[in-house]
Structure 1
């Protein structure tokens, strides 16, 4: 959610901080601010709204904000309304602090500080941190020691960036439950909550581990774990892979929808290769090769995820159980971690997260690892190879989507599905529980997927025309059966995320168990209708809606031969094999949501109240 940027350098760092904040806008925020030390003083500017408001304010006083050390922040409100007084950085005396995450026990700490005479000007938990450091600094006059002293007092998950006027060449960073990286330069160093913020100034990064505290100067980086200095590896990344601009597209979301054929092709290429035998394609020998022993012992799969990633897990459940007969459970991470769950022996725990920093998913994984069931294997399905989730799991299965800036996930979702299918097939081959004919048929159809995704994008104009019927609607239902049920859930999530229309996804067979009461002439019903084993039953469900004057908007396979009629609109989706249809049918529901949102004038890429990377509960 919130974003941190900090810098200590020989050059003026104001523009570095501001550019870093711009590159973190995708995370979601409601205010922005920065503090720079100059001439023995803290100079602070904070603005509610977009980063551009902060840029304009700083530009009006360029000399004031010409300094060599500073911190900056984009805030997403948790404690206290979006307001200038609640925006970061927060100051106590000569100390300034930026903070991602939540301090759960801030109320008790605040009472203690009030008793000591501290005054509070904000409603935030972050101001507590600033005053605690200020109080501890009185005892040691050493900023690093003061931060070490107060960190154990803070309960929750957080990342901190701290500067002090009396230490004008020293930037302190703390990482506990919220991501933080150090950017390594020459005669300058940086911190950020996402390496993307720092790519204009460096491509070398040091990833802080859980509990690390770092002291950063222009020429040195010291990292401490439990009070002992440790070495953290410097990783060099290819900045081109993280380059993201809208190009010819109006929004990042539309660009990322159109990137799906290539993103899925990249993901499949890590596992598929052509052959000269009777079968055209096979799994590459090196795909997850060193994990074959672990996969061969798996008897149960537990998927943990949130939001869109959870929907990907629901599709994977069908695949694991139907294709290779391994039982699979799928749970929302925020619920799983608190209900004292039972994870059986020889389980593969799949944690799905686009960012690899999703707080609930990471916490659920750590809770499972504490109990260490026999034969436990953990796997990260993630788009960011340097993330916390990847570092804390046994197996990393990448989704090669490239950077995804739009808050509403699109290409991350379809690449997750592609990677999950590859995992199912690899597990089936390793355990000899998938027959050759089915395997080679699926591999052949996987190879066709990018072209089928291209064909579905060619329906954009028809879907845009269909979306006009949704512009003034207040509520909507999405229906699917079998493998399409999770896509109905995903379609409803997309529509509500970016258009602010209330939408719900249902298994179509559940209509008569409640949702049918909502159906009337003003209720649009979106139906996912491939010609599959559930098609005849789905048609009966559609008749239930039609008989009650509901208006149906159907994405149907060409093979279904459905015919449009009054209050029944049909867009024909290219034929695709039943097992892989969820991947192809994801595209039209994404396009529908996008066009409805544009017509309603909402902020498509940064919808209100939401963030790309959810790093707090």
Structure 2
């Protein structure tokens, strides 16, 4: 993580690489670097901290060359030091990387048998070393990268530059975004259009699984099977000061597809991936071990994040949790325990009801923590400790990537609480962290169900009412699915706990009622599927969201099945978000509504 740029052309690139990186600063970073070829040899300059430190290095020790790559890094594996900063390089290749290489340890073990050893603590270096070994065996650069990509597991974006070849960049994407820019006798590479805006408006976006061979005058793109493919070129409307939709029709679609990268970004802040443990950077004015209760308050989608977190904190940390919507909490005036902890969740950090609830708790002597995307916001400023979600600007009114980032941060905090309270041992913590690390790649695979979801959404768009069911930790996901559908398609939808079906909602079920059941395989899946059969017996049209194991246990009566990757039960709620988001989005598209700015809604509710 977190921003990639590249230039191959005819003029000096060092200063332009740094300028392009400045336009990616909004993504957040803790070190930066660039590499160029000078006389065919790889030269690098890297620095901790802000880009000004890198720029100062280049003043005293400049780089020349007409090809180069650059990177702003948010540390994942290894501390944010100059040694761990990108680009990483061997004598033969330089590389920049966004994302997570999940199997880097296995790669390094294999490489060690041939005498290839890392010099850093990063997962990225395993990729550079693997390509180097391929090159040392006499394999050409293109094939060396192709061979290496087949070994990688995770969600990532990569750019490669090779010793002795001033006319070649190779880029690859699996989950994290990459755009190719077309110039006159020059080509560009960037994490998004903002980085490339001063250079060109002509862009092509790599699709998931693509890798590209880039020269000053050409680009050849291959898919994950190695077949040459064409990706549409388009004119970007972005300026250096704006975020654009990329190759997506709406900001909401773009933000749904950004989630493998944004989840990785959030993880990098809370998880020491090398040590497989949670590492909270913030100074906490409370001790999880001494808490007797946690109070969570939020509004809308953020409330559902808190509802999932309630399950996590109570199960993995044995910490009782009270949760309420902020608009009710502030008037309920509940008694608060002096020195207790209250946590407030808000994407904008300006939600009026949530802010009022925060001020009530502060006045009651509570420690105040907030989970926000805007660290300069009012809620953040009035909190004792701020936990950032770091998902970048979210333009679509209906929240998507902010929710998955909130859940990622909350899952990390629940693990930290579990360790502090002695509920989890080191091995259990490592198991849960590994599950979290697998999420970006699993989300990327879940997005592969989009074509099927489009067809289901066309049918759903004809419904007047939709029922969502979930049990346990999937209950809040069912409520979020219903909220998303209401927000952007204007179809009436309700989310219910599956066990409550016979206590009222089943009266609504008939042949015209779609019922969306969120039921990945877990210890409760059999009970949820039993409820589903009650719906089927009354003619309800069931859309089942599950994994392969869950699908294998289903009997008759399911109209449609949407599969998600099978993952740990701990992180399954994050994966289940993807189909409910895509289903709502494509239903709204089919109905022709204003997806990014639905009627009557605002991105940040700053008045009561």
Give the TM bin, normalised by the shorter chain.
0.5 to 0.7
Q: Is 1:392 equivalent to 2:385 in the alignment?
A: no
- The one of 360, 380, 383 aligned to 2:370: 380
Q: 8 Å contact 2:361–2:368 — kept in the other structure?
A: no
Residue of structure 2 equivalent to 1:30: none
Question: Residue 264 of structure 1 corresponds to which residue in structure 2?
Answer: 263
Task: Tell me the SS of whatever aligns to 2:418.
Answer: helix
Report the TM-score when normalising by structure 1. Answer: 0.58
CA distance in 2, matches of 1:402, 1:466: 30
Conservation of the 8 A alpha-carbon contact between 1:241 and 1:403 = no
Q: Give 1:341 deviation, angstroms.
A: 1.1
Q: Does 1:283 align with 2:278?
A: yes
Q: CA deviation at 1:564?
A: 8.1
SS for the counterpart of 2:571 is helix
Indicate the residue corresponding to 2:529 in structure 1.
539
Map of 1:446 onto structure 2: 436
Helix, strand or coil: the match of 2:331?
Answer: coil
RMSD (CA atoms): 1.9
- Per-residue CA distance 1:179-216 (angstroms, 9 max, x = gap): xxxxxxxxxxxxxxxxxxxxx9xxxxxxxxxxxxxxxx
**Whole-angstrom CA distance in 2 between matches of 1:317 and 1:249:** 34
SS in 1 for 2:359: helix
Q: Does 1:312 align with 2:330?
A: no
Is contact 1:408–1:497 with CA below 8 Å preserved after alignment?
Answer: yes
Taking structure 2 as the reference length, the TM-score comes to 0.59
CA distance in 2: counterparts of 1:432 and 1:540, whole angstroms: 36
- The structural deviation recorded for 1:594 is 0.2
Check 1:567–1:371 CA distance in 2 against 1; reply closer, same or farther (3 A cut).
closer
- Look up the match of 1:593: 584
* 1:613 correspondence with 2:598: no
Greater Cα shift, 557-566 or 405-414:
557-566
Deviation of residue 324 (structure 1)? 0.8
Once residues 558 and 539 of structure 1 are traced to their aligned partners in structure 2, the CA distance between those partners, rounded to angstroms, is 14
1:579 deviation in Å? 1.4
Q: Which residue of 2 aligns with 1:461?
A: 451
State the partner residue of 2:416. 426
The CA deviation at 1:402 is: 0.4
The CA distance in 2 between the partners of 1:570 and 1:456, in whole Å, is 13
Q: CA deviation at 1:345?
A: 3.2
CA distance in 1, matches of 2:385, 2:568: 29
Is it true that 1:485 corresponds to 2:475 in the alignment? yes
Is contact 2:273-2:437 (8 Å) kept?
no
Matched, 1:336 2:335: no
Question: How many residue pairs were aligned?
Answer: 371
CA distance in 1, matches of 2:425, 2:520: 25
Report the alpha carbon displacement of residue 562 of structure 1 after superposing the two structures with TM. Answer: 4.6
Which residue, out of 346, 355, 371, partners 2:348? 355
User: Which residue number in structure 1 is paired with residue 243 of structure 2?
Assistant: 244
Residues of 1 paired with 2:282 and 2:423: CA distance? Answer: 17
List aligned pairs for 1:186-201, cutoff 5 A. none
Distance in 2, matches of 1:544 and 1:322, equals 29
Return closer, same or farther for 1:430/1:242 CA change in 2, 3 Å cut-off: farther
Aligned mates of 1:241, 1:415 — CA distance in 2: 26
Task: Report the alpha carbon displacement of residue 248 of structure 1 after superposing the two structures with TM.
Answer: 1.0
Residue 505 (structure 2) aligned to one of 506, 510, 515: 515
Greater Rg over alpha carbons, structure: 1
- 2:294 aligned partner: 301
Going from structure 1 to structure 2, the CA distance change for 1:240 and 1:250 (only over 3 Å counts) comes to closer
What is the SS of the residue equivalent to 1:253? helix
CA distance in 1, matches of 2:438, 2:261: 12
